[in-house]
Structure 1
Amino acid sequence: MPPKGKKGKEAKAPPPVKGGAMGPPPKPKKIPPPPACFSPEDLAKFKELFKAHDEENIDKVPIEAIPLMLRKLGFNPKTAEIKQLYVQFLEDDLVDTVEYHEWLFMIEAKMGWGDDFELAVTKAFAALAHDDEEVGLADFELLRTELENWGEPLQEIEFVDWIRLAIKDKTFNVEDGTFNYVKFIENMNNKDHRYIKEPINFFKLDQKTLAEMAMKKAAEEKAEEERKEAEKKAREEARRQKMIADGLLPPD
């Protein structure tokens, strides 16, 4: 016969057995809502990219995919920024996957770190350097020619300083004349104080000016292409009308 419980007191429940054999299951993790700054269109784009890298279909992506995913959104994440995102949004340093809500908050954080300006400058340099594939390398003399004729023209003395800095931070290869403008922009954003007291401001070319300069150049080049295409169509039509007049083609 089992022993009676003490009067006036409820019998204590047995302690849960370790390992999950007994006791209530752990409460499911409450997923926070997406950042309010994102529109439905933004979320659809972010979700599509996330699913494309969720190869195992487990609603998680490998942690090593995050830098590539951010680049596909047009960002230029630095190694230190990637590490900060992991520290800020992942549970611990042993996690090797990223969940969708964590991915969204990483995007929001990266947007808040001002990458848009750096991206605009990088794309502007790509346009000015005729780097259509955006590999990040430019012919330095070609870039010099463009910068001497667009925006607020640079002077020769300013290029002397530019070359000195580019050689010092190993972004200008003197042997083949290539210039790693992506690395140069990153270095200048991070380490202006190492070289001169005041920010170099891209040698008269601040982010907005340089971006506007590239957009203006692209617009003018597009207008020129459209003009040439219109002239080509006009010539073809004139030729067709002449052939109709000569009886070589039936009239419309």
Structure 2
Amino acid sequence: MAPKKGKGKEPPPPAKAAMGPPPKPKKPPPPPACFGPDDLAKFKEMFKAHDEDNIDKVKLEAIPLMLRKLGFNPKGAEIKELFRLFLEDDLVDTVEYHEWLFMIEAKMNWGDDFEVEVTKAFAALGHDDVETGVADLELLREELMTWGESLLEIEFVDWLRLALKDKTYNPEDGTLAYVKFIENMNAKDEKYIKEPINFFKLDQKTLAAMAIKKAQEEREEQEKKEAEKRAKDEAKRQKMIAEGLIPPD
């Protein structure tokens, strides 16, 4: 009996592998020209500190933290755009060193609202409700040691030293001209490399939100006390009217 149609055919032979040596691994591109040796040393040190498995790669979730430690305030949409621009595809879960460098360069070129965020936080924490740009330094110290990632006493000593040096702190009345202080500390030649102030502990969106919330809670508590006092006074007045001690309205 003749075999059924389609039966008995041999499968086609597999394609022969291309001859020759295997392709060379891709060579990482050179670092951005805008970074000098000191810059690269700083960025490499941070990269290695977050390379938990010692594989010359860091996990994606470490990138926002690393950028904040450089003084940036990256938004979620910016992080996604950095990943889209510099990663091979959306399936990778790590970042290589050269990709990290290009992410830093891109974020620098995009600019940042870090200074605005920190200024708002200072105004809220220093109870500078009318935003004069001046606040009580001791009050700021107490608040910064309470809210967000609390400032350490040894870190505050650096604050005081630098505030005295740039004359933004007035020892006579204990006030800090915080707007000028932030501008000085956020200068372009200091922002990405040398960080005498622990900006990371201020660079938290929640910090300003928490401070504002605290101020709002304090206002609400004060309003509640005032309302309770008015209610007691009115009850006392009504009682005196009922007893004929004072005339009604």
TM-score (norm 1): 0.47
TM-score (norm 2): 0.47
Q: Which has the higher contact order (CA 8 A, sep 6+)?
A: 2
